[in-house]
Structure 1
Amino acid sequence: MATATPNSLTQVERDMLAAQIPQSLWPALLAKLKTETFNAGSLFALAESESEHRKYDLQLLKPGGLEKEGEVFLIDHAWTFEPEKAAEQLIAHPALVARLEGMMLETLAEESSDAAADSDDVAEALDIIVSQTGATRDAARASYDRAGGQLVDAIAALTIDPEAAAEAASALAGIQEQVLGNVAAQHTESRERQKDLRLRVKDVVAKLWAFAGTYQAGWRGQDGVVRMSSVWYVMDEVGTAVSHSDAPNVAIVPFIYVSPAGAIPYSVMWPVKRIEEDEIVTRDYVPAGVDRMFLVGITGLDRDAYLNAFFPNARDALSAHFKKISELPPTKTPAVLATSLPALVTPSDVIKIHSTSSISKRLFASESVVVVDDSAGADIAWVENPLVSDLARAAEAVRSTYATPDWFTPTYPVATSLASFAGNYFTDAPPSQHLWLIKDMTRITPPRLTPRIDEALRQRDVGASGIILQKWIEAPALYGGRRFEMSWTVLVARGVGGDAVLLYETPIISVANDPFILADYNSRARQFPEPRLGTNGRFAPDSPTFVKNLEREHPDRRWADVRTDITRVIAKLFAAVLAAAGPGAAQFGLYRVTIELTSTLSPVIVDFESDVDFSGVRAWAADPGAAIAGAALGRPDTGFAIIAA
């Protein structure tokens, strides 16, 4: 086949090209997509795995083996799920729970096969086994009983047995297409293990991340903007049986086939080298781009760290790696912050600001502020490119300037710091519950908590540049028994008598809706604070009520001292950010810093972002644009005060 160029391709061919499927396989794959042909079961069988971490492997049965890129196979998706709703979805679908148990769990609860000896659902199960394996009905019943009523195990047992394998040349020829659809819910319910359904679901969810895959899907919002989101899925019995190898013999990629009937997700598998008969089929679980890297002279272990999502791997080395980087000295000196901001005289009371941002132009516009296009005639040049744009870069600035201070929660971008995160996870001392926050810096996906390293590591599969892992504060200060946080607004003025950092006097307080219980980490109402409204429209932390209640719950600290500590850590943060940025031209920018207090009322920075919409000032000031511009020019009574580290 001649090499195709993108302009000459159909849409499905462009999708195949993007998925890096070999062009020689396109005709066969397209034919299978059009006819929904799943023929992997005619060439492969499930084999009992020798690994203690998985139940089955996939074994090639084809006499003579398979050549490199000699065949292509469609793999169905058994389940598509949302991580935060996975347990809820499974509880609503007991048949799916049974199917996933058959794929994932090494051991299953024993149960009596007599309970449904003559039931219609057993007869239906035997029909499926006979049709899928070609075995006699007596052999199907014997296998079904030996498997304790687990349908997938019964099919696998017949294909593993050499004698039965000869009888079942097309053993799994429709396995992924029929099992879920043909096994009625009443069959699953009548054969439930002795465990309660919720406990069974818990077992499946505990194994989920070792079997899940993901792809990115685009959707168009009401504003017409196309946004990408992650879709998680579990492949069928064939796909989930493929084990890991650093030298794999197959590749498997997700593929969305857009047909007249709609978009249908599959996975596509093909040999990347010759596979011998009876050889175990393997793929590389590690995503492209995750490899052993070098970080400040220390051999990185990101690939080894990632594999802990599937089985224990190099944990001592990861712990040693974390200990080494934790002991590295800072590489930068904190920037010296100006202790005063000279008042700038303007030709008139109206302040002229230069900005190309449509948001800034709208927010600044008032009787006392005008936005101009000519920077030469402006009193203020408003920055369009912030010093540091997000939490991940702020964390790196803090690390290079202060190493690992206790006032900045451990924060790891999954794109670059898997080994550091895993090392931190494995060296956490009791009573840590290993709760980590998965945060999407694009703010498209809501944040969620997990105690599981496999779920955390698998976030590398999801738009890696935008996901961070952050240590959750497990012993926070509480207000009325609820978790709370403070969002502070910071103005940075560069090049006017030095680098000045100004803190707005009043933050926005957010308080969780429900009382805090650490163990209930899946409850957003307990774990994630929400902005609270008060009698003045916002909940002011300097109000007598807030101070009185906080000091009553924490009698060992005065609010005035806590606020001093908050000011100090925010100043240190910006001393690190400015040090990382280096010398710069005169410019101004607004930022938002979120702080939580520990149970001892010690402040910890948990979030950082550029405040493009002035939300922290708009909550309080009648004319936020005038307050911000006035503070930048050193004018009094704006609500901002200069701070220093």
Structure 2
Amino acid sequence: MSAFDAFVTVHQYQLSAIPQELWETLFMKLGEDYLDAGEGNAFELHYGDNVEGYSLHAKTDLAKESNIFLIDHAWTTKPENAKKEIKSAPGLLDRLETIMDIEKEEVVDSDDEDEIEEDANMIDVVAEQANVSKEKAREALVAQRYDLVNAIMQLTMTEEFKAESERLQDQVLGQVLASGKPEEKEERLKKEKEERRKEKEKEVLARRINEVYSKMWTYNQTYQYSVVTPEGTTGVESVWYMNDEVGSAVVHSSEPNCVMLPFIFSRGHASTIPYSVLFPIKDIAQGEIVTRDFIPKDLKEKLEREAYLAAFPGRIADEEEMGGEDDFIDAYEKSTETTSKPATSAKPVNAEAILKMPTTQNVEIKVYTTADFVKQNLTLPHIVFTDDIQSADIIWVVQDFGDWNQLKPNQRISQVPNESCLTYKNNLAQLLSQTYGKVSWFPQTYNLINQLPAFVGDYLQRSRNPEDHNLWITKPWNYARGMDIGIAESLPQAIRQRETATPKIVQEYVDKPLLYHDRKFDLRYIVLLQQTQPMIACVYNMFWIRLANKKYDMQNLDDYEKHFTVMNYSNYQMTQIHYQEFIKNIEKEHKGLKWAEIQKDINVAIKDVLSAACIQEQPLGMASPSTAFKPFAVYGFDVMVTSDLKPKIIEVNFSPDCTRACQYDSEFVNNIFSVVDGRVGQIGKALEAFTIL
């Protein structure tokens, strides 16, 4: 096999997007690392030509599919590492600022700062009070660095007083010189000046890095690659990269004349090298601007495409492709309307009476479970563990279950068909939006895959209020434990999250939370959905406080320990607080706060969430024709409280790990099982640990 044939075999998937007649040319250029897009005679950079910053133009006529050009990657990163890399890599910050046309901020010593801007009103006041000309008043103000009082004193001081003042200054200076202190003072002042400069350098560097990070979302691109997880499964990760000066100057058009693609060149076992390749798909005349289509293939509708382009200000060849703000705001307003009526109405039921209905007691109950905390903490009499799922009376599995047809009549199982309508963040947002419209107890949340115009409209509307921080949490649809979560500080950053390997939602950042000892917190509630038709649900009275490690403010959004609360699955220190101690302390800290009133509102919000799921038919909700088996579920509800004491349901978690609950309450599992199946016994006592919703 020839070297070229081997190249085609190894790279056939990537080559399928490139015209076959260009494969051999690409092979030759890759072998020589020939970055001819920037070094050859085909292209040249222009500034301010058709777009505000840099753009790429044909230096000569180029025929369709006549050549393929190799482009280097200036930087490859992951967003969570980006700022550290910019800070530590020599020369990277300067280069990125050049690529993105960002004016470099220089450090200016206080001694070198411009003189204070002249103030005509101050000159008039000094001239009038000191009875001098405006010119003398101006000179005095300049000499006193525009200190109004000192300027007037300087002009009104008598000659005798001036002489005495100068004599005293000379005397003091002589004493200082005689004592040998001038050198010490000079050294101290020099050191203070150096410290001030270092502090300014740090501040300027931080501002420069933040500006580059904010603007990089308008320039960077991404590709995914497969990885093998520690568990042995295959996963996908995203890599973000920025093309070099030439590649980054290619701007967008929906009718492009070029295609540009990432190309990962494998040199066998030695290494892989990431490039981008560029080739014309139309004839390009000399001087014509070079364009490609930025928009992902799955965005078909006009408003979706325009919403995506909001991530690329200044990089659109034809400004008419940009959408109007009013169109996006209309999309946002429509998204908040109730669009799906419940299939049935939730009828009031006497849940406590149903739960306490007489049942056959003291019978053997077979339990099949894959949950270790159940095996270790279920100590009720008449419980027998079995490895045969078919013979079990109660099935408690922590893995996603799908063999519904294999269940027998009256078997109870700890999952509800289609409960992903609650536990997938995108589905929960859709369920609540279509059932209730916009509600106060759930942060505005958007699926970036199919709600981009509505999100852009919401963002733009909030931008009109200067007091609104307009920050958004970005989360994968189906991750827990705070994995891959971040804060989007700009519209381009938020929009570009739709390109990550795992689909994401954006959720309104709760920027005015109730604080506990000046720190953010959220609350984890364990909620038992005992049955769905009719709905009976109970919230466990014991809840868990997850506390940020640092005092809350809106500075440094990268500081995880300040803005996030999930510490127990990371290397951060975790603060443990008992819920009763928390209630006592927060009522003491915030005068007039009554936790019982807040708890009541939290319970109502939790019930509203579950009600929506139980009355909406599948696939929007969980309602379905009756089944022979009897599902129940245990969910972890994460709740925040705002500074005006209103609850916010953040998310609902599937099959939460209750190990910590068992450590706090040894009867936790026993109480759950007693309420799930009345045959276990002592349901009255078990219900004391719950509040029935």
Tell me the TM-score range normalised by the shorter chain.
0.7 to 0.9
Partner of 2:605: 569
CA distances 1:256-314 after superposition (whole Å, capped 9, x unpaired): 22222222222222222222222111011111212327xxxxxxx22211111111742
Counterpart-to-counterpart distance in 2, 1:9 and 1:334:
62
Task: State whether structure 2 residue 213 is matched by structure 1 residue 205.
Answer: yes
Partner of 1:591: 635
| Identity level (%) | 28
Kindly provide the amino acid, as one letter, of the partner of residue 623 in structure 2: G
Indicate if the aligned counterparts of 2:488 and 2:494 stay in contact, CA closer than 8 A: yes
Indicate if the aligned counterparts of 2:214 and 2:493 stay in contact, CA closer than 8 A: no
Would the alpha carbon gap of residues 50 and 349 (structure 1) be closer, same or farther in structure 2, given more than 3 Å must change? farther
CA distances 1:150-190 after superposition (whole Å, capped 9, x unpaired): xxxxxxxxxxxxxxxxxxxxxxxxxxxxxxxxxxxxxxxxx
Task: State whether structure 2 residue 4 is matched by structure 1 residue 29.
Answer: no
Kindly provide the amino acid, as one letter, of the partner of residue 413 in structure 2: A
Counterpart-to-counterpart distance in 1, 2:418 and 2:58:
56
Indicate if the aligned counterparts of 2:475 and 2:504 stay in contact, CA closer than 8 A: yes
Would the alpha carbon gap of residues 616 and 252 (structure 1) be closer, same or farther in structure 2, given more than 3 Å must change? farther
Deviation of 1:97 after TM superposition, in Å, equals: 1.4
Task: State whether structure 2 residue 414 is matched by structure 1 residue 382.
Answer: yes
Partner of 1:56: 54
Counterpart-to-counterpart distance in 1, 2:487 and 2:202:
30
1:345 to 339, 359, 374: 359
Would the alpha carbon gap of residues 15 and 365 (structure 1) be closer, same or farther in structure 2, given more than 3 Å must change? farther
Would the alpha carbon gap of residues 400 and 360 (structure 1) be closer, same or farther in structure 2, given more than 3 Å must change? farther
Partner of 1:248: 256
Moved more, 39-48 or 569-578: 39-48
Moved more, 268-277 or 621-630: 621-630
Kindly provide the amino acid, as one letter, of the partner of residue 37 in structure 2: A
Partner of 1:460: 498
Query: What SS class does the counterpart of residue 622 from structure 1 fall into?
Result: coil
Kindly provide the amino acid, as one letter, of the partner of residue 47 in structure 1: H
Moved more, 198-207 or 323-332: 323-332
Kindly provide the amino acid, as one letter, of the partner of residue 308 in structure 1: A
Partner of 2:312: 310
Counterpart-to-counterpart distance in 1, 2:424 and 2:664:
24
Query: What SS class does the counterpart of residue 276 from structure 2 fall into?
Result: strand
Counterpart-to-counterpart distance in 2, 1:194 and 1:105:
22
Counterpart-to-counterpart distance in 2, 1:557 and 1:521:
29
Counterpart-to-counterpart distance in 2, 1:530 and 1:408:
19
Counterpart-to-counterpart distance in 1, 2:260 and 2:15:
13
Would the alpha carbon gap of residues 316 and 336 (structure 1) be closer, same or farther in structure 2, given more than 3 Å must change? same
2:94 to 98, 114, 119: 98
Kindly provide the amino acid, as one letter, of the partner of residue 329 in structure 2: S
Kindly provide the amino acid, as one letter, of the partner of residue 508 in structure 2: K
2:528 to 491, 512, 517: 491
1:208-607 equivalence runs, <5 A:
208-260=216-268, 261-292=270-301, 301-311=303-313, 313-328=323-338, 331-332=341-342, 335-336=346-347, 338-340=349-351, 341-342=354-355, 343=357, 345=359, 348-353=362-367, 368=383, 370-371=385-386, 372-374=388-390, 375-376=407-408, 379-383=411-415, 385-387=417-419, 388=421, 389-428=423-462, 429-443=465-479, 445-463=483-501, 466-494=503-531, 498-530=534-566, 538-541=576-579, 543=580, 545-578=581-614, 579=616, 580-584=621-625, 585=627, 586-607=630-651
Partner of 2:162: none
Would the alpha carbon gap of residues 531 and 99 (structure 1) be closer, same or farther in structure 2, given more than 3 Å must change? closer
Aligned-residue CA RMSD in angstroms?
3.3
Deviation of 1:358 after TM superposition, in Å, equals: 7.5
Would the alpha carbon gap of residues 618 and 378 (structure 1) be closer, same or farther in structure 2, given more than 3 Å must change? farther
Q: Which has the larger radius of gyration?
A: 2
Query: What SS class does the counterpart of residue 454 from structure 2 fall into?
Result: helix
Partner of 1:132: none
Kindly provide the amino acid, as one letter, of the partner of residue 522 in structure 2: E
Would the alpha carbon gap of residues 34 and 559 (structure 1) be closer, same or farther in structure 2, given more than 3 Å must change? same
Query: What is the TM-score when the length of structure 2 is the normalising length?
Result: 0.71
Deviation of 1:438 after TM superposition, in Å, equals: 1.1
Indicate if the aligned counterparts of 1:407 and 1:603 stay in contact, CA closer than 8 A: yes
Partner of 2:151: none
Kindly provide the amino acid, as one letter, of the partner of residue 442 in structure 2: F
Deviation of 1:195 after TM superposition, in Å, equals: 9.9
Deviation of 1:79 after TM superposition, in Å, equals: 0.6
Would the alpha carbon gap of residues 195 and 524 (structure 1) be closer, same or farther in structure 2, given more than 3 Å must change? closer
Query: What is the TM-score when the length of structure 1 is the normalising length?
Result: 0.76
Would the alpha carbon gap of residues 625 and 552 (structure 1) be closer, same or farther in structure 2, given more than 3 Å must change? closer
Counterpart-to-counterpart distance in 2, 1:350 and 1:468:
46
Structure 1, unaligned runs of 5 or more? 1-7, 112-192, 294-300
Counterpart-to-counterpart distance in 2, 1:509 and 1:471:
21
Would the alpha carbon gap of residues 334 and 22 (structure 1) be closer, same or farther in structure 2, given more than 3 Å must change? farther
Partner of 1:73: 69
Would the alpha carbon gap of residues 595 and 110 (structure 1) be closer, same or farther in structure 2, given more than 3 Å must change? closer
Would the alpha carbon gap of residues 31 and 504 (structure 1) be closer, same or farther in structure 2, given more than 3 Å must change? farther
Indicate if the aligned counterparts of 2:105 and 2:208 stay in contact, CA closer than 8 A: no
Deviation of 1:642 after TM superposition, in Å, equals: 5.6
Counterpart-to-counterpart distance in 2, 1:105 and 1:440:
32
Counterpart-to-counterpart distance in 2, 1:237 and 1:449:
28
* Structure with the largest fraction of helix: 2
2:685 to 614, 626, 637: 637
Counterpart-to-counterpart distance in 1, 2:601 and 2:416:
30
Would the alpha carbon gap of residues 609 and 344 (structure 1) be closer, same or farther in structure 2, given more than 3 Å must change? farther
- Number of residue-to-residue matches in the alignment: 539
Counterpart-to-counterpart distance in 2, 1:14 and 1:553:
62
Deviation of 1:194 after TM superposition, in Å, equals: 14
Counterpart-to-counterpart distance in 1, 2:660 and 2:202:
54
Partner of 1:183: none
Deviation of 1:451 after TM superposition, in Å, equals: 2.1
Kindly provide the amino acid, as one letter, of the partner of residue 345 in structure 1: T
Query: What SS class does the counterpart of residue 581 from structure 1 fall into?
Result: coil
Partner of 1:170: none
Counterpart-to-counterpart distance in 2, 1:421 and 1:520:
24
Indicate if the aligned counterparts of 2:338 and 2:433 stay in contact, CA closer than 8 A: no
Would the alpha carbon gap of residues 194 and 468 (structure 1) be closer, same or farther in structure 2, given more than 3 Å must change? closer
Moved more, 244-253 or 8-17: 8-17
Deviation of 1:206 after TM superposition, in Å, equals: 3.0
Query: What SS class does the counterpart of residue 493 from structure 1 fall into?
Result: strand
Task: State whether structure 2 residue 46 is matched by structure 1 residue 47.
Answer: yes
Moved more, 398-407 or 362-371: 362-371
Counterpart-to-counterpart distance in 2, 1:211 and 1:291:
22
Would the alpha carbon gap of residues 532 and 271 (structure 1) be closer, same or farther in structure 2, given more than 3 Å must change? closer
Counterpart-to-counterpart distance in 1, 2:323 and 2:90:
33
Counterpart-to-counterpart distance in 2, 1:254 and 1:334:
53
Counterpart-to-counterpart distance in 2, 1:273 and 1:501:
63
Query: What SS class does the counterpart of residue 485 from structure 1 fall into?
Result: strand
Deviation of 1:24 after TM superposition, in Å, equals: 3.5
Would the alpha carbon gap of residues 547 and 364 (structure 1) be closer, same or farther in structure 2, given more than 3 Å must change? closer
1:38 to 22, 35, 40: 35
